[in-house]
Structure 1
Amino acid sequence: MKRMHPYLKLSALSYAVLTISSSVWAAQEEPPAASPQAVQTLPTLSFQVEQAPAVQKDPDISAVAKTIVTREEMEKFGDQSVNDALRRAAGFQMPAAGQGPRGGSGSMRFRGGGAPVFLINGEPVQGGPRGGMSVIDSITPDMIERIEITKQPSVAQASVASSAVINIILKEPLDGTRLSGTARAGYDIAKSNANEEQRKNISLQMDGRDDAWVYSLSANQMWNDTTTVSQIQNTGGLNTTQKRTINRTSQMISPRAEYLIDDQQKVIAELFWRNNESEGSMRDQIQEDKNDSIRLNTRYERKDQGNSDKIRLSIEQQNETELPRSALRQSYTDEQVNEYGLAYDGVRKFDQSKQIKFGTDLRASELESNIAAALDEQRYALYAEGSWQFTPRQTLTLGARQEWISRSGLVDYSDQHLSPVLAHRFDFDDRWSLQTNISQAFSSPRANQLLPTVSVSADADAGTLNNPDRGGNPFLRPEKINAYETTLGYNTPAGGVNITAYYREINDYIEKAIRNENAQGGLCAAGDADCRFVERPYNQDNAATYGVEVAGRYALKQTENGHSFMLNAQLSTVRAEIEADNGAKRLASDVAPYTASTGLSYGYQPWRISASANLNYTPEYTRRLSNEPYDRTSNQRVNMDLSLTKRLDSGWSASVNARNILSTDYKERLSSTADGSLYQARVNEAIPSVLFSVEKKF
């Protein structure tokens, strides 16, 4: 099929942007003024007599908008993590509790693609060398001021290829005291038949001001002991029961200091130290995993009305080890990543209707392994993005990002790409709006996707098709992405509804595929007894993801009688279709056709009580496994979470959070594509849990 030249395609779509458009925003705190704001703050419930401090409006006039989840909202919904807040945002497919043989290691997806990019105060943060935990997993809502979600491509945030950036803004002192804070302790018990889980956590958040100094300290310690039982049925009806015990500990300490040079300038330093250890046992198999990191972020910021300059310097070292041992085999993996970053971001406003963003980002990393060759990587980027509000109700944003990448050692190659973005927003009135975003981008594989090292699975069926080992692929090519997204929105101070349609065409699409390999990593020959199934990322010829999202929200702020109420719901559909080299088409094997969720929050001020309920639904779906003559069917799943908080005197409060209430088990069935006969089935029970926590503000 003859393809249109990419620049001609962008030009054609650029012309279409003025006639068709839009992009899903959550409901605004206020209706748009004469100058439409691209930043939209979700309505926040207030359960106390005093109103929560208003979020300062961002003077940004860009047509690339952001959804903002405030700390107050996370408190009202009883969120315990960043993922709890994201599950209420349409487009994110979260891993089911207890999903898969690895006990919930399934990764988050955004609109059928890869995981979104996470930032802390605008600074990218990485996972482990082998895709392990990152700083994000240890951040609690007590540390957060707000979460900014950019669902559309933006050259300023390096989200051109991912189309989703989650920027976590850390909390600053809420008052002028020299020291205030929150201490929290929790105990979580979960049990379902033979499955059992106990979690304990202690966290401390302190902050304060002293003249020009602003400082804070966050610390948390978690213990998690889990016993899970999986049921496996093989061909011929043979049933196997597997029992696993995993003990995890996690600690994080994060001091932060800020010095105000004057009314326009300040310098900030943030340190994150984190350690995670896990020991699991199953029959004669023991697996020990460790992941620790230390990260330093420093920034200089200058703001003068609409103009700003920001210089960012970051350093991170992360170590990850795996030690699986059994009577048949033992392996040890020790890998380390050193990363260095230097970046500059600038904003200049010429008047109330014109602005430009520009900057540069320089990054270098070293990945060392005791098994594979070392991998050195250098990335450089320049970007510029201009926004023009050419009528009182229309805004146009045009930007481009030029990136260079060079890798040596394990992989030797250099590449460079230009990624343009065009966005348009039209406000019909103070309630109705239409917004469109068009982009072209390139996504280079991450370092952990390139490492060929195999991570051995756990359980008795490790290395099988239903529970494969995992590895990387040093021969991956970058993805080439053309994306279009449009949203029609109706928003009022009390809430609104937004409908989004999106389409992404991806060449050299990177998909995880399972293949039968021998000990040397080659494809297995018939009768080879040393074969194991291994899941690795591979480039497919072409793919397209498209769908529609509907998100609604209604909030009743606190009445004279003390009642407050908020209801939100979203439905997100996605079709991820892959075209192979021979032209055959199939659906991506691990992308659900749609997800739906709804949340309800209520508060009664005279009793100082707040409560919330969240319900999530994923339908049953069947997908063909790549390169294998089997279909995989995942059952429909329902998950409900409840929370109740009671405020007491002297800053005390008590909370009860019930997770996975009325939840369905996670089931997978592999069957032959020829006759539908069973190859293997697995059941992982959902474990309902109740978390009791006590909080003291001082």
Structure 2
Amino acid sequence: MKRIQPRWQLSALSCALLTFMSPTWAADSITNTTTGSAQEQTASVQTAPVQTLATLKFEATPATAKDPDISAVAKTIITREEMLQFGDQSVNDALRRAAGFQMPTPGRGPRGGGGASGMRFRGGGAPVFLINGEAVQGGPRGGMSVVDSITPDMIERIEITKQPSVAQASVASSAVINIILKEPLDNARIGGTIRAGYGLAKSDRKKEQRKNISVQADGRDNAWLYSLSANQMWNDSTSITQTQNSSGTREQKRVTKRKSQMLSPRVEYQLDDQQKLVAELFYRNNESDGVRGDQVQNDKNDSIRLNTRYERKDKGNSDKIRLSVEQQNETETTESTQSPRFNSYTDETVNEYGIAYDGVRKFNETRQLKFGADARANELDSNVSQSLDEQLYALYAEGSWKFTDRQTVTLGARQEWIERSGLVDYSDSHLSPVLAHRFDFDDHWSLQTNISQAFRSHKADRLLPTVSVSTDSDAGSLNNPDRGGNPDLRPEKITAFESTLGYNTPSGGINITAYQREIDDYIEKVIRQEGARFVERPQNQDNATTYGVEIAGRYALKQTENGHSFMLNGQLSNVRAKVEDENHQQRLVSDVAPYTASTGLSYNYQPWRISTSVNLNYVPEFTRALDNQPYDRTSNERVNMDISITKRFNDGWATTLNARNIFSTDYKERLTSQADGSLYESRVNQAIPSVLVSLEKKF
């Protein structure tokens, strides 16, 4: 493997941005604060008054408790109150209302990702998830993430940073989603929620049965705060996949049994009014057994992660020291009983160790500085390839200066070093600058602009050549390829521009965002034939350009004297993603929809203690050419509707009815010849409606 010597990556943009840099400027790292901008106030439900029910209390954080962050980098806040109003059952339920996210497609089958791992942001990769500022991830080859196991009962708020900020490692590559876990809502020694749910989806030949039980408990005793979250889920399904080619039509039945557990204890000790120590443990275990006519596949994924940190806050100044350790193990066994017989076994383990520091210094009401350092080490062992060791180091500084009552500028840079050895011998360093400006025309209108240059170093697991075998009757075909990594991947170099014009009031508003990203060495999932089967692997393309416009708006009616409250939100996200190969031939990225649209309606009637919500999502039909293949792939038009109704009773009891995939369309893919338009292959995955009933008891 080639070795690239460390170097400073300085471009014209880098030099231009650094020329303006001042040591007295500062910026925003992901902390438990909001920026206080009109956009964030509209995106959250913080304007709602404190609601006091007979058996449940919601207490909004007082405005005086917010840190006076003046960063020009926009941040969107989704509060726990909003998630409860919408009847959200997961993090994904909350994020589907945020513009720019393309959620996993129900019923997409083996090629689609599930949960957070299947999400895309503005046509790019999956967003970066943090829990209380600490990065989390799925299994070595995309197993279920801790994020997929977190319920709204555990969450205080979700902070979404869509525009680049050097305080996060992703910079311009994707959105950053920071999940802030809640602290006890009152001074009781113990309190919490127990929830049990049962769901059923069924058609003529396809069915799915889901069961889950979860417990969230917390409390405080003098200087000690503690909480425990645990959930157990079972999901048994029978699915039918229909495939068609020149030989005819074939249907394949598959029976899958999945179960997962997550346990998360947390303890906090307050040294005084300004300092505290926190320790969090996340344990998860996921197992999946799938059987079809001639193939059996067993997947197991488990991980344990410990986060500890010291925090000090003094008005606008703060210090945070973070220590983390994580171990993950994932195994996959695939056996075929018919000719040609096929057996594979993969066992991969990841060990990660990290230490980081984040600091904030607020000099006055108009200037502040944020800075920090991060060091991580990863060890990835596999039974089918060489081990891979990785060390990452980073320094960042970002400053904000409010030079008039209505204008704020934020400037920063992040320097990263990376070393890999074993399977890949690689060494490099990157400098990523960011410049942001915010202009408030008045109390309602604002214009926020961001320009940046960044490098996205792919995750270590994407370098492993290990092949994960696909399932169903068309396994190993162009429509359903096996999946693997690529040890020759190079990092993406991204230059991004983004601007948001917003009109926001306490009752709602509308935000229009235009963006463009020029990406060198763009990483795309490419399908190639290897032996008798097709395999999908990440591969660098010469250049790519993504651009688009997003329109997002919402209107919220605060609770009236009669107890009515109402919220309406909608978004339209357009994205155009073009790839240019080494021969300077251009085409559209194969799996990025041209646009997505969604809308949600939420209504709450307090006297009856009933909350309802309806969410509708739409993806149009689109056709894209496959890289280096003589075929076009067409994905069909898809509609999906979700409905949630919650009724609360006395003594802390409540019940929720969630209807998913109502009026949903099946997921269909067709491969046709570019020469004459004839059918090569097609596959259909059914998407059937499901109902989940949950019973809840607060104590």
Q: Does 1:90 align with 2:91?
A: no
Normalization by structure 2: what TM-score? 0.93
Name segments (4+ residues, structure 1) moved above 4 Å: 9-16, 29-33, 36-41, 44-51, 102-106
CA distance in 2, matches of 1:38, 1:667: 38
Structure 1, unaligned runs of 5 or more = 17-28, 519-530
Compared CA separation, residues 647 and 425, structure 1 to 2 (3 A): same
Name the aligned partner's letter for residue 283 of structure 2: W
The residue identity in structure 1 corresponding to 2:625 is: R
Match of 1:75 among 84, 87, 101: 84
1:386-441 deviations in Å (ceiling 9; x for gaps):
10000011000000000000000000010000000000000001000000010000
- Measured after TM superposition, the shift of residue 487 of structure 1 is 0.4
Any residues of structure 2 matched to 1:329-368 within 5 Å, and which? 329-368=342-381
- The Cα of 1:611 is off from its aligned counterpart by 0.3
Q: Which amino acid aligns with 1:228?
A: S
Question: What is aligned with 1:219?
Answer: 230
Please show how residues 122-161 of structure 1 align to structure 2 within 5 Å.
122-161=133-172
> 1:7 and 2:20 equivalent?
no
Contact 2:635 2:667 in 1 (8 A): yes
Give the corresponding residue for 1:24. Answer: none
> Do the aligned partners of 1:398 and 1:421 also contact (CA within 8 Å) in 2?
yes
What is the one-letter code of the residue matched to 2:617?
N
The amino acid that maps onto 1:86 is L
Residue type of the alignment partner of 1:485: E
- Report if aligned partners of 2:500, 2:512 keep a CA contact under 8 Å in 1: yes
Taking the aligned partners of 1:87 and 1:604, their CA distance within structure 2 comes to 24
Equivalent-residue separation in structure 2 for 1:70 and 1:263 (angstroms):
25
1:118 is aligned to 2:135: no
Which structure 2 residues correspond to residues 635-646 of structure 1 after superposition, within 5 A?
A: 635-646=636-647
Deviation per CA, 1:213-248: give whole Å up to 9, x if none.
000000000000011001111125x00001111000
Specify which of 495, 498, 513 is matched with residue 508 of structure 2. 495
Match of 1:524 in 2: none
2:163–2:172 contact (8 Å) kept in structure 1: no
Aligned residue for 2:363, secondary structure, equals strand
Partner of 2:27: none
Comparing 6-15 with 565-574, which one deviates more in the overlay? Answer: 6-15
Q: CA deviation at 1:496?
A: 0.1
| 1:388 paired residue number | 401
SS in 1 for 2:250: strand
**Post-superposition shift, 1:192?**
2.1
CA 1:378/1:674 → structure 2, altered by over 3 Å: closer, same or farther?
Answer: same
Count of residues paired in the alignment? 667
**What is the aligned counterpart of 2:258 among 248, 265, 287?**
248
**What amino acid is the match of 1:98?**
G
RMSD (CA atoms): 2.0
Q: Distance in 2 between matches of 1:210 and 1:648?
A: 29
Contact 1:47–1:603 (CA under 8 A) maintained in structure 2: no
Q: Per-residue displacement from partner, 1:39-73 (whole Å, max 9, x unpaired)?
A: 76512567945683223434211101210101111
User: Kindly, what percent of the aligned residue pairs are identical?
Assistant: 73
Residues of 1 paired with 2:363 and 2:516: CA distance?
A: 34
Q: For residue 506 of structure 2, what is the amino acid of its counterpart? A: P
Partner of residue 204 from structure 1, selected from 209, 215, 219: 215
Asked if the contact 2:276–2:311 (Cα under 8 Å) also holds between the matched residues in 1, the reply is yes
Residues 154 and 163, structure 1, Cα contact 8 Å, conserved in 2: no
- The answer (yes or no) to whether the contact 2:35–2:75 under 8 Å persists in 1 is no
Q: Aligned to 2:562, what secondary structure does the other structure show?
A: coil
Q: 2:462 aligns with which of 428, 431, 449?
A: 449
Equivalent-residue separation in structure 1 for 2:635 and 2:50 (angstroms): 40
| Paired residue secondary structure (1:401) | strand
Give the structure 1 partner of residue 44 of structure 2: 42
Of 136, 158, 166, the residue aligned with 2:177 is 166
The question of whether the paired residues in 2 share the 8 Å contact of 1:272 and 1:295 is answered with yes
The letter of the residue matching 2:505 is T
- 1:38/1:90 CA distance change after superposition, 3 Å: closer
Q: Which amino acid aligns with 1:401?
A: R
- Once residues 40 and 660 of structure 2 are traced to their aligned partners in structure 1, the CA distance between those partners, rounded to angstroms, is 35
Which of 280, 283, 286 pairs up with 2:290? 280
Which residue number corresponds to residue 613 of structure 1? 614
416, 440, 452: which one aligns with 2:453: 440
Q: Which residue in the other structure is 1:541 paired with?
A: 542
Cα deviation, residue 32, structure 1: 6.7
Give CA deviations for 1:84-133 in whole Å, capped at 9, x if unaligned: 11111000011110114456548211011111100000001122111222
SS at match of 1:301: strand
| Distance in 2, Cα, partners of 1:163 & 1:75 | 27
Q: Distance in 1 between matches of 2:628 and 2:297?
A: 30
The separation in 2 between residues aligned to 1:139 and 1:7, in whole angstroms, is 41
Q: Which amino acid letter does the alignment assign opposite residue 326 of structure 2?
A: E
Report the 3-state secondary structure (helix = DSSP H, G, I; strand = E; otherwise coil) of the residue aligned with 1:84.
Answer: helix
What is aligned with 2:568? 567
Give the whole-Å Cα distance in 1 for the aligned partners of 2:313 and 2:66.
Answer: 15
In 1, Cα distance between equivalents of 2:109 and 2:232: 26
With normalisation by structure 1, the TM-score equals 0.93
CA distance in 1, matches of 2:482, 2:600: 37
- Contact 1:646/1:655 (8 A) holds in 2: yes
Q: CA deviation at 1:140?
A: 1.0
In the TM superposition, what whole-angstrom CA distance separates every residue of 1:500-524 from its partner, at most 9, and x where no partner exists? 0000000000000000012xxxxxx
Deviations 1:122-155 (CA, angstroms, capped at 9, x unpaired): 0011221112222111111111111000001111
